[in-house]
Chains A and B, each alone.
Chain A
């Protein structure tokens, strides 16, 4: 058990942080929701009713989609785009999808390479891009979920003001949908760009996200 905890401490700790934040978001969101109910002279809702509402589900999905977009873009753009001096970038002469030899696929696979790295054709094409496919799929799924919960919330607001509800197609053309999308995207793009360029000059001893403390600023890639 101790070994399991030590060998998986990164994913376990982030899982625990995620669940804690999700619960705290529910408690804070419930309190804020009921404060608004007071302002409108409406009755309070239970915590269960709040966590099964489009307001809560939408707020969660809104942030999820932007995080998965961030990683999806980072995974795909770092195949071709480079940043001199950054440990987040490949060396300047290594842009692109690289040779089969470098990627250890097909005949260049090792004895303990994943099975789908050893074969040719569709299976390998899928496996070669599996991280992008899955992270991109989660991004699209969460963005779709954001649009559906957002529409539900938006329409209940419209109905309470005696306005006709919008269809999904109409909702994804509204400022509400795009504001809630872009307010999250802009912060992710800034943070990723910051990380790529700050890691050229700044260090964190012991972190794989950083170059070694004594590495020269001009050295690009992780093998510095």
Chain B
């Protein structure tokens, strides 16, 4: 199950990064 777990983590990181960066961009009025 190493493969699915790696992909699970990649998706989690990507989504968290997308939301966090968007909030930061919006909050700093860029």
> Can you name the residue of chain A whose Cβ is closest to the Cβ of B1?
A7
Task: Knowing A11-B11, A64-B18, A145-B19, say if A58 contacts B26 (CB, 8 Å).
Answer: yes
A contact patch SS: helix
Task: Knowing A15-B11, A52-B30, A156-B29, say if A58 contacts B3 (CB, 8 Å).
Answer: no
In the complex, are the beta carbons of B26 and A142 less than 8 A apart? no
Complexed CA–CA distance, A156 and B30 (Å): 9
In the complex, are the beta carbons of B27 and A148 less than 8 A apart? yes
Neighbouring B residues of A152 by C-beta, 8 Å: 25-27, 29-30
Q: Mark B8-19, 1 if CB is under 8 A from A, else 0.
A: 001100110011
Report 15 cross-chain contacts, Cβ distance below 8 Å, ordered by A residue.
A7-B4, A8-B3, A11-B7, A53-B25, A54-B25, A60-B18, A138-B19, A141-B19, A144-B23, A145-B18, A149-B26, A150-B26, A152-B30, A155-B29, A156-B29
B interface residues with partner A (beta carbon < 8 Å): 3-4, 6-7, 10-11, 14-15, 18-19, 21-23, 25-27, 29-30
